Every structure is written in C-alpha cells, then in structure tokens.
Amino acid sequence: MKKDSATRLCAIRELENSGLGVRFVVQLDGRSRSAFVIRFDGEIKAFINECAHIGVELDWQPGIFFDSTGQQLICSTHGARYNPLTGECISGRCAGRGLIAIKIREVGEEVHLVDGKGVHLEKIIEGQSDV
C-alpha cells in the first residue's frame, strides 16, 4: 500500500491566530482547486477555498478569511459564516453545507499538506494582503 507523503505549505510562525491565511492550489479529484490554511485557537486547519453556496473563493482580499471578530470564517460574497476548526456552516447561504477540509500535518516548525488520496499540492500562492 502506498504511503501518503507530505509537502511543505508554510512555516507555522507565518500563521497568527485569526490572522491572514496562506493560499495554495491543490489537485483534488483531477482538477485544480484553490485552498487555504489558517490558524485559530492554536490549531492549524486547511480547507478548499470554495464557499458552499456557489463555489466562489471566500476571501475578499487575498488571505483574509476571518470576520471582524476573528471568530468565524466569512464568505466575502454573501456573508456565509463557517467554523474555523471544522469548516461547518454556522449561518448564511451555506445552508448547512460546510467547507471541504484538507489534511495537513505539523512537521517541526512547518505546516505540510498530506498528499495522497486524490489531493496533491500544485503551487503556493505568494503575496497575501497587507490590509
């Protein structure tokens, strides 16, 4: 059986609690999908960057995924809100549908994407918002 491999996404120190996310692109089930990794409440989580409403990217400026309270992820288009730890829909037009989680792993001081099972890193998107 083939073992999953891991690919570096960023340094852990690049992710502040409720701060900017690091964006990247993965191949998932044979197509390129935008994705992001964030830190919340000390935990690092990654999701496909597609709102469950109509599939657009969540961030209104590159890397800005949290609402003004820093407690929820928010879609910039119609304001659907998601739990940053689970991707679960909290309110709005996601209507009970959540974000697709991506498996990551902390390796020393780095965050790695766990490649395998149809998910592969395509590229890191440089340049987060400085807003």
**β-strand partners of 110:** 11, 107
> Smallest gap, in angstroms, from Cβ of residue 74 to ligand FES?
9
Closest C-alpha to 45, from 88, 2, 78 = 88
Side-chain half-sphere exposure of 35, counting CA atoms within 13 A:
26
User: Shortest gap between Cβ of 52 and ligand FES (angstroms)?
Assistant: 7
Site for ligand FES in 66-125 (CB under 6 A): 75, 77-80, 92-93
Binding ligand FES (rule: CB under 6 A), the pick from 11, 54, 85, 107 is 54
Which C-beta is closer to ligand FES: that of 44 or that of 90?
Answer: 90
Least distance (Å) between residue 76 CB and ligand FES: 8
Of the two residues 51 and 119, which places its CB atom closer to ligand FES in the complex? 51
Question: What is the rounded CA–CA span in Å between residue 124 and residue 56?
Answer: 19
Q: How far apart are CA 61 and CA 84, in angstroms?
A: 18
Instruction: Count residues binding ligand FES (CB under 6 A).
Output: 11
Stretch that binds ligand FES, among 13-21, 24-32, 46-54, 115-123 (CB under 6 A): 46-54
CB closer to ligand FES out of 46 and 75:
75
Where along the sequence are the contacts to ligand FES (CB under 6 A)?
51, 53-54, 56, 75, 77-80, 92-93
